[in-house]
Amino acid sequence: MRSCFHTLVAAGVAVAVAVAVAVACLSGCSFDADYGGTSLACPPSSPRCPDGYTCVNQVCTRDGAIDAGDATDTRITDAGTCELAAAEGTRDTCGQARDLTAAASAAGGTRVYGNTTGYTNDLTPSTLPDCTTSPEPGPDGIWRVSVTTGQTLTVTFSPEGWSGDVYVVDACTSTATCAGGGPMFSPVSVTPAAGTYYIVVDSRAAGAAGCYTLDVALAQ
């Protein structure tokens, strides 16, 4: 009996030592993932990225590699929409509308950032049939794309802390024809005739403005 007891005690000590060694090893170890050279997708439905990476244009991109002046460059990594909008520059008027055709034609489209703070009310879609159900009296931001025959343009407008809509027109005038429009956070898809179109994000109240993201995709 005494021999069995000694054997059990020795086994217990061995197990305790093994556990202690394992805990010590684990406490001194860390997992340091290296995502270099990979392309981790972060679509709007799942925008999270690993630590040290930020979702830019639906791709997880390493922090600290910003390329000033082009907020659609996949090297730009800043967690704040307003900071990315500042890098993009002003998109207040029709003349300042940036052409998104090439970026929007890429697989998955593109995401751009804007800020309508301080902008003017250039367009009023309530005067255009089939545009939006709101008068949109507030500031608007303007972008443009060139659509070829048979292409479908899809846009999703996501404002931060204010309410608005997005619409697509064939000219930057009060007599433009509206190809379609819809509310914030909802994809709007149109298949218009070939030509140049302006994508307008607009606010539902005269004093409403702020930062936003705009997803734009062109597909055949």
In order of start, what are the domains of the chain with their CATH numbers?
32-79 (no CATH), 90-219 (2.60.120.380)
* pLDDT 10s digits, 155-191: 999 999 999 999 999 998 878 889 999 999 999 999 9
Cα–Cα distances in Å, from 162 out to 74, 139, 185? 27, 12, 12
Distance CA 177, CA 197 (A): 10
pLDDT at 31: 37
The pLDDT, as a whole number, for residue 205 is 86
Mean pLDDT of 115-129: 81
CA separation, residue 42 to residues 17, 39, 56, 60, 61 (Å): 45, 10, 8, 6, 10
Per-residue pLDDT at 110 exceeds 60: yes
**CA–CA separation, 176 vs 40, rounded Å?**
40
Q: Say if residue 52's pLDDT is above 80.
A: no
pLDDT band at 111 (very low <50, low <70, confident <90, very high): very high
Q: How far is CA 41 from CA 10, 48, 98, 115, 197, in A?
A: 53, 9, 25, 25, 28
Of these ranges, 58-62, 75-79, 117-121, the one predicted with the greatest mean pLDDT is 117-121
- Reduced to 3 DSSP states, what percent helix, strand and coil does the chain have, rounded to the nearest 5? 20, 30, 50
